[in-house]
Structure formats: structure tokens, C-alpha cells
């Protein structure tokens, strides 16, 4: 793992505080309210989502490839103290579970850091049971806002180093999801 991943793990929660307060916390709450059964969360980071799951879940396996994030997430799980949650170090494109294993997959702010998004989405589809659902929150290139696009492109070289390979200039919603086995919904939210 890079110096950037160590940096990001230490400062992720602090750096995201204003976005969480402005909109992300509400989006997480709305998204996870409908999740039920046995759940696989991909790219759990520091575990921000765990407080938003409801009593409708049986279990949640949190996966995270970054060992620095896993360390923080492990501590958060101990504090949270809910036996329905467990942590496994795994990447989105190699989850290590059998076909048809989960009722739901949750992916929040992850695909921006995944090198082979199509492979990851195929893997997510594979581990979902027939009728299983995937739940996403993702950020993309601001395609209709030229000033914001300019800033995203300007910040990209530094951002990718400091933020665990997160790409501000990715086009996840159009380029990748339209070709994936997971059927996307049209973008429904905007920040700010």
C-alpha cells in the first residue's frame, strides 16, 4: 500500500465531515434503509456505513483491501459491538465468496478507486443471489459543469496520490456501468 493509503486512512473521516453533514449522511441513511438479509459491503473504508444499517439485516461482511483502513475499521467494529458485522480483507475484483452467496451488495464511494471496474461489477453480480440487489453511491466527473471539471482535472494528480488512488476524473456512471452486468439507475443525487 502507498503512503497515500496510510494518509487517507488517518484523515478520511475528518476530511469527509463537511460532505457527510451536507448530504452524504442522509444519502447513506436512505440507501441502507432498504438493505436486508445477508449483506456484502465492498470497500468499507473506515466503516462509515455501519451506523446506518437497520434491523432488517442478518449479517454484514465488510470487505476492504487496504490494511490501513482495515486497522481503523477493526477498531470501529469493536466500539460498535454488533456481532452481525465482520471484516474481511478483500478487493472488489476478487471477493473470495461463492456464487449466489448474498442478498445484497453495498458499494459506496469505491469504484473511483478500482482499476478494473467491469471486473469488480462482474464479481459483485456473481456473489449476489438470484434477485439480490446492489446499492451504490458513487462520484463521477461533473460532465455538465465546466468549472468543476476544470478543478477536478487540475487536482487529479495530487488527489490520486493523497487519497488512496481515488480518481476525481472517472466516468463511472456512463463508461463502466452501462456495459456491466449490474444495471445502473440514472444519477439521482447531486452534491452540493
Residues 170, 177: contact at Cβ < 8 Å? no
178: pLDDT strictly greater than 70: no
In a domain, 116, yes or no: yes
Per-residue pLDDT at 154: 81
Of 21 and 128, the one with more pLDDT? 128
Say how far residue 45 (Cα) sits from the centre of its chain.
Answer: 8
Q: What is the CATH number of the domain that holds 9?
A: 3.40.50.150
Give residue 37's region: left, alpha or beta (phi > 0; psi -120 to 50). Answer: left
The residue segments making up the domain with residue 167 are 3-179
In a domain, 192, yes or no: no
Of 140 and 11, the one with more pLDDT? 140
In a domain, 184, yes or no: no
Per-residue pLDDT at 127: 97
Per-residue pLDDT at 192: 44
Per-residue pLDDT at 13: 55
pLDDT in tens, 94-145: 999 999 999 999 998 888 788 888 899 999 999 999 999 999 888 777 777 8
**Mean pLDDT throughout 142-153?**
79
In a domain, 167, yes or no: yes
DSSP assignment of 90-144: -BTTB----TT-EEEEEEES-GGG-S-HHHHHHHHHHHEEEEEEEEEE-----TT
Residues 92, 124: contact at Cβ < 8 Å? yes
Would you say the pTM of this structure is higher than 0.75? yes
Q: Exposed e or buried b for every residue in 117-138, given b needs 16+ CB within 10 A?
A: bbebbebbbebbeeebbbbbbb
* Residue 114, C-alpha cell as written in the block: 478500482
Of 39 and 162, the one with more pLDDT? 39
Round to whole Å and give the CA distance between 60 and 83: 9
Task: Tell me, letter by letter, the H, E, C secondary structure of 40-102.
Answer: EEECCCCCHHHHHCCCCEEEEEEECCCHHHHHHHHHHHHHHCCCCEEEECCECCECCCCCCCE
Per-residue pLDDT at 93: 94
Confidence class of residue 5 from pLDDT cuts 50, 70 and 90?
Answer: low
pLDDT in tens, 35-90: 999 999 999 988 999 999 999 999 999 999 989 889 999 999 999 999 999 999 99
In a domain, 191, yes or no: no
What Rg do the C-alpha atoms of the chain give, in angstroms?
A: 16
In a domain, 27, yes or no: yes
Per-residue pLDDT at 33: 94
Total number of domains constituting the chain: 1
In a domain, 189, yes or no: no
In a domain, 82, yes or no: yes
Amino acid at each position: 500500500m502507498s503512503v497515500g493509503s496510510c494518509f487517507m486512512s488517518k484523515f478520511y473521516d475528518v476530511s469527509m465531515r463537511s460532505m457527510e453533514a451536507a448530504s452524504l449522511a442522509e444519502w447513506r441513511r436512505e440507501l441502507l434503509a432498504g438493505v436486508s438479509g445477508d449483506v456484502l459491503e465492498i470497500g468499507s473504508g473506515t466503516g462509515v456505513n455501519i451506523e446506518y444499517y437497520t434491523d432488517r439485516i442478518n449479517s454484514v461482511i465488510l470487505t476492504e483491501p487496504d490494511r490501513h483502513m482495515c486497522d481503523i475499521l477493526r477498531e470501529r467494529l469493536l466500539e460498535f459491538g454488533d456481532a452481525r458485522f465482520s471484516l474481511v480483507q478483500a478487493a472488489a475484483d476478487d471477493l473470495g465468496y461463492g456464487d449466489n452467496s448474498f442478498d445484497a451488495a453495498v458499494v459506496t464511494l469505491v469504484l473511483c478507486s478500482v482499476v478494473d471496474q467491469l471486473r469488480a461489477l462482474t464479481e459483485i453480480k456473481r456473489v449476489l443471489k438470484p434477485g439480490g440487489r446492489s446499492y451504490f453511491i458513487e462520484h463521477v466527473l461533473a460532465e455538465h459543469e465546466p468549472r468543476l471539471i476544470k478543478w477536478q482535472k487540475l487536482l487529479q494528480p495530487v488527489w490520486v496520490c493523497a487519497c488512496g488512488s481515488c480518481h476525481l476524473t472517472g466516468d463511472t456512471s456512463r463508461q463502466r456501468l452501462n456495459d456491466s452486468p449490474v444495471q445502473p439507475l440514472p444519477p439521482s443525487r447531486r452534491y452540493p
